[in-house]
């Protein structure tokens, strides 16, 4: 099993501190099993090439190395992890039903990213 780097732990801890100040869901986000992975090849694929980060359950996938990634993007993607932890099916279905741009889950994640940038 590959262990988290100190940089990964620090990024997750900072992002969690931001999310802990928001009252989106009754339980705080759990980061025990969350991993941040740099997978640039994924973002060359047609669906993913418009993103710099992507959440898949407990995985935060990044286009650029973590050292080149803003804390606001980590908070944004960790917010999606939190949504997934709170209501996985509802979250995923909202993207199928309503699309991406004005999706309430994207609005929340953008708010979390902005809070991290403040």
**What pLDDT does 38 receive?**
97
Q: What is the pTM of this model?
A: 0.93
33 burial (CB, 10 Å; 0-12 / 13-18 / 19+) is: exposed
pLDDT in tens, the chain (118 residues): 568 899 999 999 999 999 999 999 999 999 999 999 999 999 999 989 999 999 999 999 999 999 999 999 999 999 999 999 999 888 888 888 887 788 899 999 999 999 999 8
At residue 54, φ and ψ (nearest 5 deg) are -155, 140
- Can you give the length of the chain in residues? 118
Q: How far apart are CA 118 and CA 25, in angstroms?
A: 21
């Amino acid at each position: 099993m590959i262990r988290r780097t100190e940089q990964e732990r620090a990024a997750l801890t900072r992002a969690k501190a931001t999310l802990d100040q928001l009252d989106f869901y009754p339980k705080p986000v759990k980061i025990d099993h969350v991993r941040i992975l740099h997978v640039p090849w994924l973002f060359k694929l047609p669906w993913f090439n418009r993103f710099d980060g992507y959440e898949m359950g407990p995985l935060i996938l990044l286009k650029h190395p973590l050292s080149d990634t803003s804390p606001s993007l980590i908070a944004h993607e960790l917010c999606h992890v939190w949504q997934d932890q709170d209501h996985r099916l509802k979250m995923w279905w909202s993207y199928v039903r309503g699309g991406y741009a004005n999706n309430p889950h994207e609005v929340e994640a953008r708010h979390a990213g902005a809070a991290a940038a403040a």
